[in-house]
């Protein structure tokens, strides 16, 4: 399924009235993982209150031991500090990479902003080297923009 075909499906999930926010995030994780061949793990990490760390939110894929990630550590921790998308073509070439699964070859992490504040991020792992590009970044930025609406109305 193309990114353009997935956008209305993301919007349908966001606007569901019978689902709670966490359920919607989980559905989005599964939607992306199930419909984009090279998205092998899809999940959200959120800032843990005033602590300089991220906590694992809803995800789709293999379980991970990384439930808490300090700011600055790993790709997710770096995005929490930089507030910028990070695309890693080859995780083996990264000194500050936290391995969640030995099959992961590349990763993209896109920050999630609500009212100009970074509250978390979407993290995608792929078992294919150099899987992600600007189209993925644009699509995931769109997804996060839509998800941010869930936090503005709460």
Q: In the chain, what's the furthest Cα-to-Cα distance?
A: 44
Which residues, 6+ apart, have CB-to-CB distance to 94 below 8 Å? 75, 88
57 with 45: CB under 8 angstroms?
A: yes
Q: Average pLDDT for residues 118-135, to the nearest whole number? A: 98
Q: Are 82 and 65 in contact (CB under 8 A)?
A: no
Q: For the whole prediction, is pTM greater than 0.85?
A: yes
Task: For residue 123, list its beta bridge partners.
Answer: 43, 109
| Intra-chain end-to-end CA distance of the chain, in Å | 31
The domains located in the chain, with CATH, are 3-151 (3.30.450.40)
Mean per-residue pLDDT, 128-139: 98
Q: Is 100 a residue whose pLDDT tops 90?
A: no
Name the one residue in this structure whose structure tokens are 């993301």. 10
Beta strand 106-114 pairing with 53-60:
unpaired
pLDDT digits (tens, 9 = 90+) for 49-66: 999 999 999 999 999 989
For 6-29, the pLDDT digits (tens) are 999 999 999 999 999 999 999 999
What percent of the chain clears pLDDT 90, i.e. is strictly above it? 90
């Amino acid at each position: 399924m193309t990114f353009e075909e997935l956008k209305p499906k993301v919007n349908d999930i966001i606007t569901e009235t019978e689902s709670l926010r966490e359920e919607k995030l989980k559905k989005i994780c599964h939607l992306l993982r199930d419909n984009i061949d090279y998205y092998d793990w899809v999940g959200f990490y959120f800032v843990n209150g005033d602590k300089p760390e991220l906590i694992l939110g809803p995800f789709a894929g293999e379980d991970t031991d990384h439930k808490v990630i300090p700011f600055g550590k790993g790709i997710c921790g770096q995005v929490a500090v930089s507030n910028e998308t990070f695309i890693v073509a080859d995780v083996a070439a990264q000194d500050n990479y936290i391995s969640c699964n030995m099959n992961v070859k590349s990763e993209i992490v896109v920050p999630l902003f609500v009212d100009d504040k970074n509250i978390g991020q979407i993290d995608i792992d792929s078992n294919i080297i150099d899987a992600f590009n600007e189209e993925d970044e644009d699509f995931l930025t769109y997804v996060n923009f839509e998800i941010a609406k869930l936090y503005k109305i709460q």
